[in-house]
Amino acid sequence: MIINLKNKDTLIVDDFKFKCSIGLKGTKKNKVEGDKATPKGFFSIQNLYYRPDRVPKPKFHLKIKKIYRNLGWCNDPKSKFYNSEIIINRNIKHEKLFRRDHKYDYFLVINYNPRKTAFRGSAIFIHLTKNYKPTAGCIALKKKDFLIMLKLIKKKSKIRIN
């Protein structure tokens, strides 16, 4: 199954069309860390993360991971942990995954920059939104749409971002 980001506000999964938001600067072929663009390309989907203190564990065909207070995602291009899940450490620049808002109550990791090439971009997710405001480079959906999408995704599903 192919998930298609048709334009800056429509994600197509099977016969479903979901309103979404993307990076503030639109899509970009040559993404760099911090450019607020969503990377163009064809990518696999990795793990599903969820907050067990807020939402139930969903049924899903890929690996599911719980988000705890000390979990982060390294966005420091100079670190050997760049573009990876980490246990939060003050010496490593990171994004917290255990957030006050609800954006990361559920999120999927898009397998962007799997070689962890420095400055090429990190933490590209499909996460939740309440207002469709532009993201820092991720794709964001309303919670009900996200949960419908999870039921449609298979192990070999890919996402095409144009």
Domain boundaries, the chain: 2-161
What pLDDT, on a 0 to 100 scale, did the predictor assign at position 126? 98
pLDDT band at 6 (very low <50, low <70, confident <90, very high): confident
pTM: 0.96
Amino acid present at 2: I
Backbone angles phi, psi at 127, to 5 degrees: -130, -175
Looking at every residue in the chain, the average pLDDT score rounds to: 96
Res. 61: pLDDT tops 90: no
Do the beta carbons of residue 148 and residue 106 sit within 8 Å?
no
Give the tens place of pLDDT for each residue, 113-123.
999 999 999 99
What CATH topology corresponds to 2-161?
Answer: L,D-transpeptidase catalytic domain-like (2.40.440)
Give the tens place of pLDDT for each residue, 30-50.
999 999 999 999 999 999 999
Res. 159: pLDDT tops 90: yes
What pLDDT, on a 0 to 100 scale, did the predictor assign at position 26? 97
**β-pair partners for 158:** 2, 44
Greatest pairwise CA separation for the chain in angstroms: 46
Give the tens place of pLDDT for each residue, 85-114.
999 988 999 999 999 999 999 999 999 999
What pLDDT, on a 0 to 100 scale, did the predictor assign at position 34? 96
7-26 average pLDDT score: 96
